[in-house]
Structure 1
Amino acid sequence: MPLTRYLLFICFILLSSAGFAQRYTVSGIVRSATDSQPLIGATVAVPELKTGASTDTRGFYTLSLPAGSYQLQVTYIGYQPYSQTITVNSSAQTIAIALQPTENKLQEVIVETNSLEQKLNDNRMSVEQLSSREAKLLPALFGEVDLIKTLQLKPGVQSGGEGSSGLYVRGGGPDQNLVLLDDAVIYNPSHLFGFFSVFNPDAIRNVELYKGGFPAQFGGRLSSVLDVRMNRGNNEKIGVNGGIGLISSRLTIDGPIKKDKATFLISGRRTYVDTFTRLINKVNKDKKDYSPIPDYYFYDFNARLDYKPTPYDEISLSGYFGRDFFTFNDAGFSFSFNWGNTMGALNWRHTFNPRLFVNTSLSATGYEYNINNKIDVFSFNLRSDVQDVTLKTDFEWRPAEKHTIKFGAAGIKHGFTVGRLNFDSDDDLQNFSAGNTYQATEFGAYLSDDFQLNAQLSLNYGLRFSGFNSQGKTYTALEPRAAARYSLSTNTSLKASYASMMQYIHLVANSGASLPTDIWFPSTPRVKPQRSQQLALGVSHLFGDGKYLITNELYYKWMHRQIDFRDGANVFVNDSLENEFLFGKGESYGNEIYLEKIKGRTTGWLGYTLSWTYRQFDEINDGRRFPTRYDRRHDISLVLLHKLNKRLHLTGAFVYGTGNAFSLPVARFPLQDVQGKEPGIVPIYSDRNSFRLQASHRLDLGAVWKLKPKRGEADLTFSAYNAYNRRNPYFVYFEQMRDDEDQTIGFRAKQVSLFPVIPSVTYNFKF
């Protein structure tokens, strides 16, 4: 559809809403009475009129009602239902609501709200939502709660490997995920070589993952959007919470600066594995043939200030700083590298009236890594980083109760340092440097409309215009988005979505396991932007008196101008890195089945994904398509949470996945290059990624025992990662076998596994 006709169609829909009868606005924010945190997805309803709304990410709701007296009901799982009589007259009303928690009273957990029904009737599809409170109940590796690993238990989301926190969403790579923390980009959301994410659960309020059907306000990546929101400070009193775990401890302090005006939150976390490794190295340093253990630790720090100068304005200042440090020192050799993210975001939200809002944000974010190596008198330093400054503004207009218009624009100033190498010797006779720096500008503007035409049909459609400029070359693109929901009955909905996405910056990495050797590279005159198109179809059915929701989604994704390296490419110390790139195409398709239960003493979900993911390059595999390393035919996850009594929660998670695809030599031949020396062995490979590792599966078990401290709350969280000690494959290498005369007689494949059964215990407290 031409752009002019598209805009005229949107204007027609907007004008069509003018014919509604005289109605008045009731709006407000729903919060928790204990810590003043907004409750996302709470149901605010008027049963007499059979109408209602769900709260957004701010806990905000708005209703359009005719004049009269009604019963307003508010419900949210885990909180006591709230009811209030309201009188709607000729003026708009603001009603703030604070819900009381159920305080572990089992009969009150089963409340009238039905968020499964909200999911059923939501226009959006391919969206996963998670709160930190839910994630803390699940068993975790080393007892370290991880929001991203919990998302890996959802269909369509895979990890990069055993224990990894990387996200591979519907066939996309880790660089194709847009990760936002309070609207600011986070480039590498991983600690400990990808085994933990950078998100401290005590500082995070909720997470939304979009796997498809992307709203028009998001752009810049192909495969997913991970929208993370930090907690706000407690508006009632000073609060302290934290935990002491097997490898790390964390502490969070929050509270009011000025009641009903300003709050603060400060949260920190640090591992202490380095304390034990240093002690072991010190005790054993004088032993013969002792090899020191590398020294590793990470820390991160979150902070947020919220200020409400007027009833119509909210200002927040968010910050994140995190670093990982890895060092190894031995006689005549030292090696170290560090990497991390820095983020600061200033957000201002202004309410013009209960139907019109604007949110403006200014953020600065950066990711960098440094590698330092010293051998005898020679040393080198290798550094890469990306620095962004982003200004964006988003408007939201609700002309009617079932009608929301969003529009806005954003601009990003990028700065890239690509493989900056410095080499020198102690005598200063040999030294040189190499590397490149790039500057780029990215921009975007969008318009979207979410409109319920009638009781059966809802539409969400939009258009994004994006562009990128670097080295004198400007790329532009139109990115249409559309989604629809049709209700076959009160319990069954059909959904469909289409999204076109552009990605202008690219991750250059020598591994897919979220290792810190990451280089971000901009689109240039020779490196064109990547593009994807995704189509999804789904059906959702609510049954069992509203206790269960089953969803089945089919998707197909086309990916254009995918990037890979030439064989033997020089990734580092290369002033012409773009000459090492190859460009091809990809496709991913599959079926995701998801069964969920959120009410009652036993809750949880079952997910199954059947999928295929391929890439195709003219210069690789003789031009034939090949499966990617993270192509996984079958992926199953089962999560159960059972409330045994008021004090004891039992949890379990079982996962199964087809083994990753990888390449192995099918034969070898000897090559005599120097007379008199043993011939070298040259491997011969077949098609790329034509072999598979063994299937991976494991069972994680956990228990949360609520203590009875004199003040506040406390619990002990027990978990057993990989409870039946399954040795899942991490990678395979070949061991050379020799005879008694030290001659090579063959090769033997050996599997490396990372984690056996790992028990852990964490003490959590809050007061």
Structure 2
Amino acid sequence: MGAPLAGWAQVRFTLSGYIRAADSKEVLPGATVAAPALGLGATTDSTGFYSVALPAGTQNLVVSFIGYQTLTRTITLTKNQRLSFSLPASTNELGEVVVQGSATLEQKLRAPQMSVEHLTATEAKLLPALFGEVDILKTLQLKPGVQNGGEGTSGLFVRGGSADQNLFLLDDAVVYNPSHLFGLFSVFNSDAVQSVDLYKGGFPAQFGGRLSSVVDVRTREGNPEKIGVSGGIGLISSRLTVEGPIKKGKGSFLVSGRRTYFDVFTRQINKLNDSDPDYNPIPDYYFYDFNLKANYKLGDRDQVFLTGYLGRDIFGFNSTNGFNFDFSWGNTVGALRWNHVFSPKFFVNTTVSTTGYKYQIGNKLDQFGFGISSDIKDQAIRTDFDYLLNDHHTFKFGATVTNHQFGVGRLNANSGDGTLNINSDVAYTGQEAAVYASDNFRVNKDLQLDYGLRLTGFQSGSDHYGGIEPRLAARYSLTDKTSLKLSYAQMYQYVHLVTNSGATLPTDIWYPSRLNVKPQRSQQVATGVSFLLGKGKFLLTDEVYYKWASNQVDFRDGAQLFANSDLDAEFLFGKGWSYGNEIYLEKKEGRTTGWIGYTLAWTKRKFPPQRGTTGINNGATFYPTYDRRHNLTVVVLHQLSTRFNLTSSFVFSSGNPTTLPQSRFIYQDTYGSDYSVVPIYPERNSYRLASYHRLDLGIVYKFRPRHGERDLTLSIYNAYNHRNPYFVYFDQIKDEETNLITGYRARQVSLFPVIPALTYNFKF
């Protein structure tokens, strides 16, 4: 929201404060305080704080947030003033289906940033979910430009980037593995999450370290007025959240936990079949996670926030023949943030954080044991300053320093009698630092710029790297309902995820830039147009992007990943391109809400011959497995009555590129000996699996208890039972008389049929 330059000479004062929900007293990031007659306004940040410069005198203010009642207030400014607002929840019958916490369509139209998606847990909870387990990353996959890795995965592939090129932040602390259950669910418990911002391009200068996207997750602070309990009982998991005041008016806390109970059922099944010598036990598997959030006001100008997360996946198999297999992985995150307000125009957030991700496998056969593991640990400090110079310029600047510890590979093998004991440990350290500055410049009511610069550096041992990352986003309003947008960003990535895709289980190793492993680098330019349609009820956007990347990392065939002191020699390096067009139509108000997104995109990679190898695909350009030509999503939320909500989502995408043998030949070493069949493969990923499509349905029934809230949610995953491809294998076709192979038949393996799920949610 800009203002003509002619008003520059007027005496101005700063109005600032917090905007909260009247019922829960939690802050509302993204709420708006506006003076419509002046064309001026401000949006609250992640702490619910706003600050706006207004001319002296009497002003009419409008305070709004989707899903809450709009407040109007007349004030007289004679000095800088602190004024906070509490917004009551919408009382009309349609209030239940409005997405609380999402930016209004007009805000999105007028914002200089493009390629940004804002979601809340409220929105995710309305959508049907696999096994009834709400997943905010699954909701992100329903947005244009964001694709999953295939059936049953929660990994994000954003605008042609690989899964490790996404930066996941939990209250400013990095999360290295955002997945549970081999990728089926994310680690972000919807009961603890307040909002998620996804940046696909035009990255603000305060973010860096990854090439393709930033997923900025903010957790809830808890109710500062009264104790509250909420949770849910579902098909595979249960959740419980407790929140309340530490001291009324001073601080609050929130503790949330979640656990699956696959193992409860599988252990009982195994026990019932324990006496059968031919019975193969079902492996134990479960995951759990805990979230903690606390905040406390030290005074009018100071507030501290504490965030904690602990999550683990546990997989175990104990056979009757003495073979035991244990597999676990998980994240640990802690962050302490201090918010200090120097003045209504100038404040700072400083965060000290620690994060760790560990992966380990253990095997035991009789008396022989074998184990491998890897991990990464970070200790970081980050400080971000915000300075509102006037209603035309808002400056942000800051710095971050991170110490990385890489446990690249730990191997141990031993025997029970002590005759064998082998230990190997490969570890590195790295230091990463960055400084940045940016300016949000409202040139006039039609033109707004957000430009900045980020300087980064990385050191591992005696190896040093650095880079300059310019950022630019611009918005020009052709009319009150039409905006043109443009963005450019350059990114560096100094840590790399090495994943052995040929392994039966994932082998995730984080590795620093060092020796011959140069940092990855990308540049992205995007342009688009946005329209408000239907009296402001619909927002239509059309964005075109082009991204090119260098120093892309892969590994040679047969690479030895664990306990390798010269892992640099296993890497291959190449370049990549991705480009596409994203069309998005969104509606956020009324009895029926939702969105339609369509993406037409291409993603390519090229790894030329190097290091004594033929490269990948003999150096020819190929499509990676996450390339999708077409991707369509349709999400519809409809309020049938005050107690019933209907939800649905439909997805369609082109099939994954894959490599399949195009022919085979048979040979015998000597006459009469067994013959061997050798497959002949064409170029990498020269085939595509069948197209993927799925319809999910849901219905939410809201009870009317005397106290609190209750609802029963029925979700149907893959409602018309379409068998989507997971992978393809080949069956031999043999002659019944001679038993000779006469051909091969392709077989498709599908993961999920139609899956209904019932979840009971409560809050009191």
The equivalent residue for 1:341 is 331
Q: Deviations over 1:646-673 (max 9, x none)?
A: 1111000000010000101112223546
* From 660, 667, 685, the counterpart of 2:663: 667
* From 702, 707, 711, the counterpart of 2:698: 702
Q: d(CA) in 2 for partners of 1:737 and 1:472?
A: 58
**Shift in Å, 1:427:** 2.3
**Shift in Å, 1:747:** 2.6
The equivalent residue for 1:734 is 730
Q: Secondary structure at the match of 1:142?
A: helix
1:469 aligns with 2:465: no
**Shift in Å, 1:750:** 1.2
Q: Confirm or deny: 8 A CA contact 1:303 1:320 kept in the other structure.
A: yes
For structure 2, the residue ranges without an aligned partner over 5 or more in a row are 609-614
Q: Secondary structure at the match of 2:298?
A: strand
Q: Confirm or deny: 8 A CA contact 2:97 2:637 kept in the other structure.
A: no
Q: Secondary structure at the match of 1:49?
A: coil
Q: After the TM superposition, which residues 92-171 of structure 1 pair with which residues of structure 2 at under 5 Å, given as runs?
A: 92-103=80-91, 105-106=93-94, 115-171=104-160
Q: Secondary structure at the match of 2:139?
A: helix
Q: d(CA) in 2 for partners of 1:433 and 1:655?
A: 48
The equivalent residue for 1:608 is 598
The equivalent residue for 1:621 is 617
Relative to 1, partners in 2 of residues 1:472 and 1:614: Cα closer, same or farther, differing over 3 Å?
Answer: same
1:500 aligns with 2:500: no
1:361 aligns with 2:355: no
Moved more, 253-262 or 676-685: 676-685
**Shift in Å, 1:533:** 0.3
Relative to 1, partners in 2 of residues 1:471 and 1:678: Cα closer, same or farther, differing over 3 Å?
Answer: farther
Q: Deviations over 1:10-35 (max 9, x none)?
A: xxxxxx99954310111111100111
Return the letter of the residue paired with 2:485: K
The equivalent residue for 2:508 is 518
Q: d(CA) in 1 for partners of 2:696 and 2:175?
A: 29
Q: Secondary structure at the match of 1:632?
A: coil
1:537 aligns with 2:498: no
The equivalent residue for 1:571 is 561
**Shift in Å, 1:720:** 0.2
Q: Confirm or deny: 8 A CA contact 2:515 2:568 kept in the other structure.
A: no
Q: After the TM superposition, which residues 155-554 of structure 1 pair with which residues of structure 2 at under 5 Å, given as runs?
A: 155-287=144-276, 289-330=278-319, 331-511=321-501, 516-554=506-544
Q: After the TM superposition, which residues 42-121 of structure 1 pair with which residues of structure 2 at under 5 Å, given as runs?
A: 42-89=31-78, 91-103=79-91, 105-106=93-94, 115-121=104-110
Q: Secondary structure at the match of 2:361?
A: strand
Relative to 1, partners in 2 of residues 1:416 and 1:674: Cα closer, same or farther, differing over 3 Å?
Answer: farther
Q: d(CA) in 1 for partners of 2:45 and 2:97?
A: 22
The equivalent residue for 1:5 is none
Return the letter of the residue paired with 2:550: H
Return the letter of the residue paired with 1:29: Y
**Shift in Å, 1:37:** 1.4
1:746 aligns with 2:743: yes
Q: d(CA) in 1 for partners of 2:433 and 2:664?
A: 52
Q: Confirm or deny: 8 A CA contact 1:160 1:513 kept in the other structure.
A: no
Moved more, 509-518 or 602-611: 509-518
Q: d(CA) in 2 for partners of 1:410 and 1:18?
A: 37
**Shift in Å, 1:570:** 2.1
Moved more, 74-83 or 653-662: 74-83
**Shift in Å, 1:605:** 0.1
Return the letter of the residue paired with 1:709: P
**Shift in Å, 1:84:** 2.3
* From 749, 752, 759, the counterpart of 1:762: 759
* From 577, 594, 600, the counterpart of 1:587: 577
The equivalent residue for 1:38 is 27
Q: d(CA) in 1 for partners of 2:415 and 2:672?
A: 36
Q: d(CA) in 1 for partners of 2:220 and 2:413?
A: 44
Q: Secondary structure at the match of 1:405?
A: strand
TM-score normalised according to structure 2 size: 0.96
Q: d(CA) in 1 for partners of 2:733 and 2:556?
A: 31
**Shift in Å, 1:585:** 0.3
Q: Confirm or deny: 8 A CA contact 1:221 1:502 kept in the other structure.
A: yes
Q: d(CA) in 2 for partners of 1:381 and 1:674?
A: 42
Q: d(CA) in 2 for partners of 1:514 and 1:105?
A: 51
**Shift in Å, 1:292:** 1.4
Q: Secondary structure at the match of 1:119?
A: helix
RMSD of equivalent CA atoms: 2.0
**Shift in Å, 1:85:** 2.4
Q: d(CA) in 2 for partners of 1:676 and 1:416?
A: 54
The equivalent residue for 2:611 is none
Q: Deviations over 1:448-504 (max 9, x none)?
A: 111010111111111110010012011011011111111111111000000000000
Relative to 1, partners in 2 of residues 1:412 and 1:513: Cα closer, same or farther, differing over 3 Å?
Answer: farther
Return the letter of the residue paired with 1:526: N
Q: Confirm or deny: 8 A CA contact 1:656 1:696 kept in the other structure.
A: yes
Relative to 1, partners in 2 of residues 1:21 and 1:425: Cα closer, same or farther, differing over 3 Å?
Answer: same
Q: d(CA) in 1 for partners of 2:92 and 2:315?
A: 43
**Shift in Å, 1:635:** 0.3
* From 706, 709, 720, the counterpart of 1:724: 720
Q: Confirm or deny: 8 A CA contact 1:534 1:556 kept in the other structure.
A: yes
**Shift in Å, 1:572:** 2.8
Relative to 1, partners in 2 of residues 1:333 and 1:125: Cα closer, same or farther, differing over 3 Å?
Answer: same
1:555 aligns with 2:541: no
Return the letter of the residue paired with 2:758: V
Return the letter of the residue paired with 2:526: A
Q: Confirm or deny: 8 A CA contact 1:160 1:512 kept in the other structure.
A: no
Q: d(CA) in 2 for partners of 1:724 and 1:342?
A: 39
Q: Confirm or deny: 8 A CA contact 1:194 1:513 kept in the other structure.
A: no
**Shift in Å, 1:512:** 9.5
Return the letter of the residue paired with 2:693: H
Q: Deviations over 1:542-589 (max 9, x none)?
A: 110000000000000001010111122222342222211100000000
Q: Confirm or deny: 8 A CA contact 2:30 2:103 kept in the other structure.
A: no
Residue identity (%)? 60
The equivalent residue for 1:9 is none
Q: d(CA) in 2 for partners of 1:482 and 1:669?
A: 56
Q: Confirm or deny: 8 A CA contact 1:79 1:109 kept in the other structure.
A: no
Relative to 1, partners in 2 of residues 1:512 and 1:70: Cα closer, same or farther, differing over 3 Å?
Answer: farther
For structure 1, the residue ranges without an aligned partner over 5 or more in a row are 1-15
Q: d(CA) in 2 for partners of 1:693 and 1:508?
A: 25
1:650 aligns with 2:650: no
Relative to 1, partners in 2 of residues 1:514 and 1:750: Cα closer, same or farther, differing over 3 Å?
Answer: closer
The equivalent residue for 2:612 is none
Return the letter of the residue paired with 1:762: T
Q: Confirm or deny: 8 A CA contact 1:80 1:108 kept in the other structure.
A: no
Q: d(CA) in 1 for partners of 2:36 and 2:210?
A: 42
**Shift in Å, 1:738:** 3.8
**Shift in Å, 1:108:** 9.9
Q: Secondary structure at the match of 1:400?
A: coil
Q: d(CA) in 1 for partners of 2:500 and 2:638?
A: 42
Return the letter of the residue paired with 2:47: R
**Shift in Å, 1:103:** 4.1
Return the letter of the residue paired with 1:208: D
Q: d(CA) in 2 for partners of 1:53 and 1:558?
A: 35
Return the letter of the residue paired with 1:248: S
TM-score normalised according to structure 1 size: 0.95
